[in-house]
Amino acid sequence: MSRVDGYGRIDRSRTLTFTFDGEQYAGHPGDTLASALLANGVRRVGTSVKLDRPRGITAAWSEDPTGLVQVEEPFPEPMLLATTVDLVDGLVARGLGGRGRLAEVPDTARYDRRYTHCETLVIGAGPAGLLAARTAARRGDRVVLVDDRPAAGGSLLGTERICGRSAFDFVADTVAELRADPDVRILPRTTAFGHYDDGFVLALERRTDHLAQPPRDVSRQRVWRIRAGHVVVATGAHERPIVVEDNDRPGIMLAASARDLLHRYGVLVGREIVVFTTDDAAYDAAADLERAGARVTVVDPRPGAGGSATHHARVVGTSATGSEDGAVTAVTLDDGTVLPCDALLLSGGWNPTAHLFSHVRGALRYDAELGAFRPGEPLDGGTVVGAANGTFDLAGCLAEGRGETPEPVARRTHVLWRTEGEPARQFVDLQRDSTVADIARAVASGMRSVEHVKRYTTIGTAHDQGKTSGVIASGITAELLGVPVESLGTTTFRPPYTPVAFAALAGRQRGRLYDPERTTALHAWHVEAGAVFEDVGQWKRARYYPRPGEDMEAAVLRECAAARTGVGILDGSTLGKIDVQGPDAGVLLDRIYTNMMSSLKPGRVRYGVMCGVDGMVIDDGTVLRIDDERFLVYTTTGGAAPILDHLEEWLQTEWPELRVSLTSVTEQWATFPVVGPRSRDVIGAFAPHVDVSNAAFPFMSWLDTEVDGVPVRLARISFSGELAWEVSVDGWHAAAVWRRLLDLGAPHGITPYGTETMHVLRAEKGYPIIGQDTDGTVTPQDLGTEWAVSKKKPDFVGRRSFARPANLDPLRKQLVGLLPVDPDLKLPEGSQIVELTDALPPPPVPMLGHVTSSYRSAALGRTFALALVKGGHARIGERLTVPVDGALVPVEVTGSVLFDPEGTRRDGEPSVR
């Protein structure tokens, strides 16, 4: 056991049991997995990813490059750092060889996000951060203080004195003052991992992992989305090792980390310790460790540094002779001395943790005195204070926290990236097994940029993102190139600062809340009726209503037959609807639609096509003229929002002089097409006071009426070629009207049908679906809807493009029908189309187009398809080939209208007219 009495903030009165690599151990509340392992003498945590070398704990917190574990219990999670895993009773973990494994059981924990706003966000609750938070709070700011450790204090270990008092008393008093302020929010165990524009910071709060009994309804992790007027980066510094040969063995770690482990957890990392340093701070560590009972030898190449016991030499290698766990047993100095030891502590100076400054494009400047990159310019909307700013003395940190400029303090860091030795065993990035030899290879290959060296060697690309290795890699690269470090710079820090689980980023946005499910007013009815739903954008639409024993094909054939021979009813409420109102409403619509809308009479309906300026079809639908100054525009389901935006864009940015206003009424109106030769009977019964004869209620007309006092709009519109009415009613009465129509239709066998049947019915008539039969490269002429393109209007959006040579090319892809020669063969949608052949030519095979829609038709008694085919209109009557699953399927090109091309059915079957 390497636990020493009198040190640490762990609760020794309670014991926790945990399992590592199958062995049971004991630890205490307040331990991390790493400290508990070290306390139990477990120094080898895993093996390295490429070379399979034993690896241990090399740093005490999130900068550790080596101590990766797989946690199995209480919560399975791969690739966590043992140094940041809170020890809980029953914890089960094992060491990793560089790669983890995703859990095979679903993650049942909750994750969420939380937005908050403040005037001042302070990141880091060390001495500088605490004073910055206190200063802002006393000023009256709303303050958020985040810190990644369980408790405030940062680098303070309790041995320091602030204003004549113990540092911990100072921390406790400051935290108490902040806690008492209702405008201050303190978030411990919270890592600010990304800093973005305009004071936006993302932080991950670990809320329950440290609890013995995590509350079920509390999220395990929470992503805070903090919008701050001012961001104070007080994130401290990371100690930097010195690269020596065989520097990757267990038992080799950073000097300050060993000190941290002693003071936080009462863990003494060795009894016979060698400290190799080029910086004064390591002497504090050496003294503390000695006081705690270790024998410490300091090796410091700086002349005059240290006391008489200091070896003025350099460590050039380590050995692990006779060590069962591969841990260090001795170090070799450049003067030939061999020092036996059970721990080697390294300290080559300190790197300001300036990641969150870099995220917002803050430029770092190389400071040759520190051998480190530090913030080199003021930050717009933020400040960097304390060690993160390169201010390493406590007095200076406190001053910067208060917003003052500290007295400069000279440092005597001797910059030493590495000592002499075998480059292939001098590890720079211990997690990636990347060595000085890899950097040398990169440089020899001609790489001159640290960004290239990083990608070639993978240094800095592991979980720790090079917190301890990045600057060293720059330094060694510069040495090898013979250029100053400042001319190379360092690699760019990017979020996240520490790894973040995808589950935390997803938050509550999974399962049913992954994406909004939009539903119509009839949704409950559809569910009860056993509908199978399909996703149409965010909408849940009833696709078909299978009866017992029916598959989709059988259900759709039945639903289609009902609409063609009796009467069917569809929930068409998802269609977009826009109220267009104002004296210039007609002018606006004339400029937007390809056809004339201003000539439409109130009470009438017109089909229209809309194009972009490039002349390509973007939407289609019907337009009802309500009165002289008012129209109701129907868009496709998917077009509801984009077409409203499109209209607003033209209206607001090009034609603000037009007196028109646009209002979405998509959910205001529920719309039910009642379709089929028997629809007249149903509508006649539904609105008995309305004359539904063809003469009184002709095709493409509409009227408003009331049924039982409820306003109802009836329109004779057909998307199937059959006699049909669209019944529209406000959303409040939608379900009641739907049920009424079903009741009244029952004697006629009214059959609810879904979107699949709607598609078949419209395809039989050659009506395109924008977005299915078109793809943004299709003109009205390509669709065969030039009849809806006005020749009288001087201009409308897209008109000029129709005259472009590309739009006049006779080989443009055009919409046609396809009839497979085998009437039972349904072509897969998306199939490619080639010239008629019984053997494909060698690739590349010239493609003529593709199948856009394909169905089995009850009315035609066969399969059919719609397709976009090069020069398709001129190919009608020809045969082409569609390769399907290796077979070459012959198909005949037809016009796109396959059913009732004369349009005899839209006024009803002659016998029932």
509 binds other proteins (CB under 8 A): yes
Q: Which stretch binds other proteins (CB under 8 A): 43-51, 642-650, 853-861, 875-883?
A: 642-650
Residue 515 or 553: the one with the smaller Cβ distance to other proteins is 515
The residues near 413 (Cβ < 8 Å, ≥ 6 apart) are 278, 279, 280, 348, 349, 350, 369, 370, 371
Residue 548 or 794: the one with the smaller Cβ distance to other proteins is 794
Minimum CB distance to other proteins, residue 901 (Å)? 35
Percentage helix, strand, coil for the chain under 3-state DSSP, each rounded to 5: 25, 30, 45
Three-class SS of 548-590 = CCCCHHHHHHHHHHHHHHCCEECCCCCCEEEEEECCCHHHHHH
225 binds other proteins (CB under 8 A): yes
Of the residues 112, 173, 272, 479, which one makes contact with other proteins according to CB under 8 A: 112
Minimum CB distance to other proteins, residue 62 (Å)? 24
Site for other proteins in 692-731 (CB under 8 A): 707-711, 730-731
Residue 139 or 659: the one with the smaller Cβ distance to other proteins is 659
10 Å CB burial of residue 126 (0-12, 13-18, 19+) is buried
3-class DSSP state of 601: coil
Residue 40 or 574: the one with the smaller Cβ distance to other proteins is 574
Q: Which residues pair with 29 in a beta bridge?
A: none
Minimum CB distance to other proteins, residue 680 (Å)? 13
Of the residues 15, 337, 449, 663, which one makes contact with other proteins according to CB under 8 A: 663
Minimum CB distance to other proteins, residue 645 (Å)? 6
Residue 19 or 668: the one with the smaller Cβ distance to other proteins is 668
Site for other proteins in 366-385 (CB under 8 A): none
Site for other proteins in 306-345 (CB under 8 A): none
Q: Is 241 left (phi over 0), alpha (psi -120 to 50) or beta?
A: beta
Picking from 45, 42, 28, the residue whose alpha carbon sits closest to that of residue 87 is: 28
Question: Is residue 245 within 8 Å of 218, Cβ to Cβ?
Answer: no
Site for other proteins in 230-269 (CB under 8 A): none
Q: Which amino acid is at 69?
A: V
Of the residues 51, 92, 536, 665, which one makes contact with other proteins according to CB under 8 A: 665
Give the β-pairing of 702-707 and 710-715: antiparallel
Minimum CB distance to other proteins, residue 117 (Å)? 4
The residues near 848 (Cβ < 8 Å, ≥ 6 apart) are 833, 834, 835, 869, 870, 880
Question: Is residue 398 within 8 Å of 332, Cβ to Cβ?
Answer: no
Residue 266 or 576: the one with the smaller Cβ distance to other proteins is 576
Site for other proteins in 52-111 (CB under 8 A): 110
Residue 206 or 875: the one with the smaller Cβ distance to other proteins is 206
Site for other proteins in 536-575 (CB under 8 A): 539, 574
CA distance 849 to 459: 49
Question: Is residue 670 within 8 Å of 522, Cβ to Cβ?
Answer: yes
Q: Which stretch binds other proteins (CB under 8 A): 268-276, 733-741, 810-818, 892-900?
A: 733-741
Of the residues 97, 101, 179, 196, which one makes contact with other proteins according to CB under 8 A: 196
Residue 502 or 732: the one with the smaller Cβ distance to other proteins is 732
- In this structure, the number of other CB atoms found within 10 A of the CB of residue 687 comes to 19
Q: Which stretch binds other proteins (CB under 8 A): 4-12, 213-221, 240-248, 365-373?
A: 213-221
Of the residues 505, 735, 860, 897, which one makes contact with other proteins according to CB under 8 A: 735
The CA dihedral of 389, 395, 399, 405, to the nearest 10 degrees, is -70
Site for other proteins in 789-828 (CB under 8 A): 794-795, 799-801, 803-805
| Terminal alpha carbon distance of the chain | 98
Residue 6 or 709: the one with the smaller Cβ distance to other proteins is 709
Question: Is residue 362 within 8 Å of 354, Cβ to Cβ?
Answer: yes
Minimum CB distance to other proteins, residue 387 (Å)? 28
217 binds other proteins (CB under 8 A): yes
Residue 665 or 845: the one with the smaller Cβ distance to other proteins is 665
Phi, psi of 363 (to 5 degrees): -85, 135
Q: Which amino acid is at 336?
A: G
Minimum CB distance to other proteins, residue 518 (Å)? 4
Q: Which amino acid is at 663?
A: T
520 binds other proteins (CB under 8 A): yes
Residue 158 or 229: the one with the smaller Cβ distance to other proteins is 229
Site for other proteins in 345-364 (CB under 8 A): 361
Three-class SS of 81-116 = EHHHCECCCCCEEEECCCCCCCCCCCCCCCEEEEEE
Picking from 640, 895, 862, 870, the residue whose alpha carbon sits closest to that of residue 760 is: 862
Minimum CB distance to other proteins, residue 469 (Å)? 30
CA distance 265 to 318: 27
Between CA 298 and CA 304, with CA 301 as vertex, the angle to 5 degrees is 85
Binding mask 140-179 vs other proteins (x if CB under 8 A, - otherwise)? --x-------------------------------------
Phi, psi of 893 (to 5 degrees): -85, 130
Residue 487 or 652: the one with the smaller Cβ distance to other proteins is 652
Picking from 306, 78, 129, the residue whose alpha carbon sits closest to that of residue 233 is: 129
Q: Which residues pair with 767 in a beta bridge?
A: none
Residue 216 or 601: the one with the smaller Cβ distance to other proteins is 216
Task: Look at the chain and count its residues.
Answer: 913
534 binds other proteins (CB under 8 A): no
Size of the site for other proteins (CB under 8 A): 84
Of the residues 58, 84, 219, 755, which one makes contact with other proteins according to CB under 8 A: 219
407 binds other proteins (CB under 8 A): no
Minimum CB distance to other proteins, residue 804 (Å)? 6
117 binds other proteins (CB under 8 A): yes
680 binds other proteins (CB under 8 A): no
Binding mask 737-756 vs other proteins (x if CB under 8 A, - otherwise)? x-xx--xx--x---------
10 Å CB burial of residue 147 (0-12, 13-18, 19+) is buried
Of the residues 51, 685, 860, 876, which one makes contact with other proteins according to CB under 8 A: 685
